[in-house]
Amino acid sequence: MKILLSTIFEYPHEGGLSTHVATLKNGLETLGHQVDVLSFTDLNPLVRKAYAQAPGFIASKIKPGSGQLMNDQNRMTLIHKELNKLKGQYDVVNTQDVYATLAAEGTGIPVVETVHGYYSFEAISRGAIAEGSKEDITVREREKRAYTLADEVVTVDQRIKDYVKSMSGVEATAIKNFIDVEDFDPGKLDLSGIREEFGIPTDKRMLFVPRRMTEKNGVIYPTLALRKVLDRHPDTVLVYAGTGEQMPAIKKEVEQQGLEGDVLLLGTVPHEKMKYLYGTSDIVLVPSVHSYGVEEATSISALEAMGSRSPVIAGAVGGLKEIIEHEKDGLLVTEKDVDGLSEAILKVLDSPTFAEQLARNARTKIEQMYSHHSAAARFEEIYMKAANKA
């Protein structure tokens, strides 16, 4: 099949959606399919700036929330124009967001939408729109329309499947997130020099937070929990890889607690480098929380860490509870529980044998249940179903 993966967002970019697209593309290509990507990044840079970025920025200054709506609408229009040029060239388009699905309307290409989260709720969570506002209502209406417009809908976990059903009446197919299990095989990686490359002390135990710095990812809590960990294990460093609106809050907390030498903020890290950082970590932290009704889905960061044989400590919310079995292949802690997070970290640091057991069991689970090969085969079936409806 000739398959197009489409999104109104940048690709590649920081975050799980971009990782999902790259890994799915790889899996589908191993099955013999031709796979291309159409994203906002593929558009003319001047058009992107003048039509889909600057107007929304100005609108947001006048009325908060209106800019987000305008930007998404304008991105949708531009992607629609590109899709119209591709009529008859693809067997199916797998859209990765609400507006990419709406952009495919009228193009004649069968549409499969993958729903990665709760579009309106996530916009509220990151402060882009206000809950209950006109913009919020409009986005929800567009969500519903997109789900009903698509020939088939895929969600990345069961809760999002239930959400799509309750909002639109559409029965989606849940295919949990996945990783390239070979790419994240720690036995195949040369980890020498990776800490030096990123300025991470080689004589300290590394706590790694591979998260976009947004509220639902709970990124402030590892910093809040660090002091108690340092009291027992002063040879510990906390490393963040990511950017986002929570960065100022973390920097402020680091300064207030005098943790400047104990916390490293790497900013955006290329995805191909992440597997090395997972591999050199002593613990990976995925401290997700509820935020305006948004829950973590089947976290790709958690899956990558587990595949890299790194002990994972995660917030007991959403899809994280589905992929981690507490004290067998990871640890789950109550969201926003700073002391609970500290104690979990100390439990792993205090017992290397326990840490190795968690890591070994996690890798086995990933190999058996979260391979991109099996996920690609399931998507292939969905694509065939959508194409047959056309």
Q: What is the pLDDT of residues 357-377, one digit of tens each?
A: 999 999 999 999 999 999 999
Same domain, 119 and 267: no
Candidates 188, 185, 194; CA nearest to 276 is 194
The model's pLDDT over 206-228, given as tens digits with 9 standing for 90+, comes to: 999 999 999 889 999 999 999 99
Regarding whether 244 and 137 lie in a shared domain, the answer is: no
Q: Are residues 295 and 345 in the same domain?
A: yes
Per-residue pLDDT band at 292 (split at 50, 70, 90): low
Q: How much is the pLDDT for 63? A: 64
Same domain, yes or no: 82 and 161: yes
Question: What whole-number distance in Å separates Cα of residue 69 and Cα of residue 102?
Answer: 14
Predicted confidence band of residue 84 (pLDDT cuts 50, 70, 90): very high
Q: What integer pLDDT is reported at residue 248 of this predicted model?
A: 96
Report pLDDT for 67. 74
CATH number at 202 reads 3.40.50.2000
Which candidate, 121, 111, 123, 120, places its Cα nearest to that of 150? 111
> Can you tell me the distance from the alpha carbon of 362 to that of 309, in angstroms, rounded to the nearest whole number?
7
Query: Does the pLDDT value for residue 136 go beyond 80?
Result: yes
Task: Kindly report, residue by residue over 321-349, the tens digit of the pLDDT.
Answer: 989 999 999 999 999 999 999 999 999 99
Cα–Cα distances (Å) from 156 to 82, 138, 145, 160, 369, in that order, read 27, 24, 19, 7, 14
Same domain, 74 and 146: yes
Mean confidence (pLDDT) of the chain: 92
| pLDDT tens per residue across span 65-78 | 677 788 899 999 99
Confidence of residue 293 (pLDDT cuts 50, 70, 90): low
- pLDDT, greater one: 57 or 344: 344
* pLDDT of residue 287 exceeding 70: yes
Residues 118 and 168 in one domain: yes
Q: Could you list the residue range(s) of the whole structural domain that residue 211 is in?
A: 186-369
Q: Which amino acid appears at position 379 of this protein?
A: F
Q: Same domain for 144 and 40?
A: yes
Is residue 7 located within the same domain as residue 39? yes
Percent of the chain surpassing pLDDT 90: 76
For residues 312 and 345, state if they share a domain. yes
Contact between 226 and 263 under an 8 Å Cβ cutoff? The reply is yes
DSSP code string of 132-173: TSHHHHHHHHHHHHHHHHSSEEEESSHHHHHHHHHHH----E
Residue 162 sits in the same domain as residue 255 = no
Query: Are residue 227 and residue 294 in the same domain, yes or no?
Result: yes
Number of domains in the chain: 2
Inter-axis angle of helices 247-257 and 220-232, nearest 10: 30
User: Could you report how far apart the first and last alpha carbons of the chain are, in Å?
Assistant: 15
State yes or no: pLDDT of 261 exceeds 90: yes
Q: Report CA dihedral (246, 251, 255, 256) to the nearest 10 degrees.
A: 0
Give the pLDDT band of residue 294 (cuts 50, 70, 90): low
Residues 87 and 219 in one domain: no
pLDDT at 146 over 70: yes
Distance, in Å, from the CA atom of 106 to the CA atom of 332, rounded to the nearest integer, reads 46
Q: Which of the four pLDDT bands, split at 50, 70 and 90, describes residue 316?
A: very high
**Confidence (pLDDT) at 55:** 63
Quote the tokens at residue 250. 């973390």
Given a contact cutoff of 8 angstroms between Cβ atoms, the answer to whether 241 and 208 are in contact is yes
